[in-house]
A and B are shown apart, each in its own frame.
Chain A
């Protein structure tokens, strides 16, 4: 089985977020980057588990510059066999998906794994777009994946419950919490990652489909007001006149 896992770099969750270029671009200065947890903990680890039980290979792919290579080395240290970096600035989701699909289209991957979204932009569009461009089925929010030959049984989060689907490879899935458990790279993996291939591929022709007009950070939390439990009139008045929710 050949598995492709899409990896994004995202800021560490404790980073201070700021913007540049007239609030149209995320300011990466001084930011510590990590592998997007949905990509690492669930997509990558489940792909590795399947490789370990069924044989095959796990390739990770990233669209980005050289600054993305440390997170790719981490994915290699966790156990991926090889890495591919498409040398292009990760623009909008359509652009990124075009890059990944263009690379993957003649490589016969059985499953393309993605995290359900990046914790950075929360677009959650890349996996579906990759499936569309590869013309294969797409399963979103997968929490469990079993393979029997070419038949996959997948559990996915549905509103208030679980949906179980069955389909044939090849397909694209987006992995959610529950799919696998985080693996910490061990020393053997870190040593092996030194010599695993990290191939840089030139960008494919693709157009940006959207332009960011501006980013804003959330406004600060308003001060908490305590109302005496006996004073319902004041509570109702504040909810009506100030918060304007009733």
Chain B
């Protein structure tokens, strides 16, 4: 039987006071939707490794798809903090669900909005905003993860069209996507954005199986075998590696909020459990080592909240740098993962069961700490930013 979701969000530094009424309304609507629609089913879908497709319409309705996109393209014209808060609430439920929304918003809608032609915007964005169309983003390749500039996927100009060849891997939403934003090199070695529609000859997107992480998210490959791409399917607004990296900036920003959601859920569960679980005639919350864990958790959650909020303010002013975003993504995931592990310990043996969310969050976060720039690469980004010396190339 589905459990009642008792989640209560911690707000140790009264950060709510720094949010606008509309930001709180957006967040609370997402939170209420998660409690009603996601919490009762997420463990089941995680266990059977299936994306709950029936949630797509609701995700569109709560504004999880491109909330900051202008209204004329179907977006909600929300600010970046509202976007972050929606990601927080979705990842409070499950990182896979947040991943689906992050990909749709930041990796599909964002590049079409920023770099697409007006025709492309009108064709894709309103349908992506409601979830009628789902999208995916193809950058990572089997042999090129942290080094996307080395990609081998390519387009060749055939006069009235391009031919696309290559393969992408670890692509969220790929198996059911209606459109893929794919990054490929042209004959001059310049990276271009290509819109690949579902059903194009030579294009397939097989699902990848055997994941112990993000099991409630659908992940696949993108395989291009002489796919004929109409010239109007190229994103005209920007090329070069900076184009996909700017999309990753937007997604990483959302992830920095999302991680807080996962951490909050683990902390909330641990706090409640520690007050209810009696050992040696008293709640385990009365023991110093439990209190140490809880104190450290709420401290790190609060620090992450402040980091994300300030980053959101900078994003709203269009002043956030890639390096600042990188720091928040790395820090907030690192501590969310630690919090999931500590929270699991507080639950003792019960912590390994799907009665509680920590193991699921923990396994999910092992992906989140790796995707959209690994933890180590993000350290090197900060390192480069403060020293002025890039350490990527050994």
Contacts and interface: CB of A to CB of B under 8 A. Distances in A.
A120 interface: no
A226 to B, nearest CB: 14
A187 B62 contact: yes
B384 interface: no
B22 A184 contact: no
A190 interface: yes
A73 B16 contact: no
Contacts of B67: 187
A235 B67 CA distance: 63
Given A187-B76, A190-B76, A191-B77, A74 B25 contact: yes
Interface of B: 8, 14, 16, 21-22, 24-26, 28-29, 32-33, 36, 61-63, 67, 71, 76-77
Contacts of B29: 77, 184-187, 190
A190 B22 contact: yes
Given A77-B29, A186-B62, 17 more contacts: A14-B8, A73-B21, A73-B25, A182-B36, A184-B32, A184-B36, A184-B62, A185-B25, A186-B29, A186-B61, A187-B62, A187-B76, A190-B22, A190-B29, A191-B71, A191-B76, A191-B77
7 contacts: A70-B21, A74-B25, A74-B28, A182-B32, A187-B26, A190-B22, A190-B25
B75 to A, nearest CB: 9
A70 B67 CA distance: 21
A74 B8 CA distance: 20
| Binding site secondary structure of chain B | helix
Contacts of A105: none
A188 B61 contact: yes
A194 B25 CA distance: 11
Nearest to B29: A185
Nearest to A72: B21
A200 to B, nearest CB: 16
Contact of A187 (B14, B28, B61): B61
A69 B21 contact: yes
A66 B82 CA distance: 23
B33 A194 contact: no
Contacts of B33: 184
A30 interface: yes
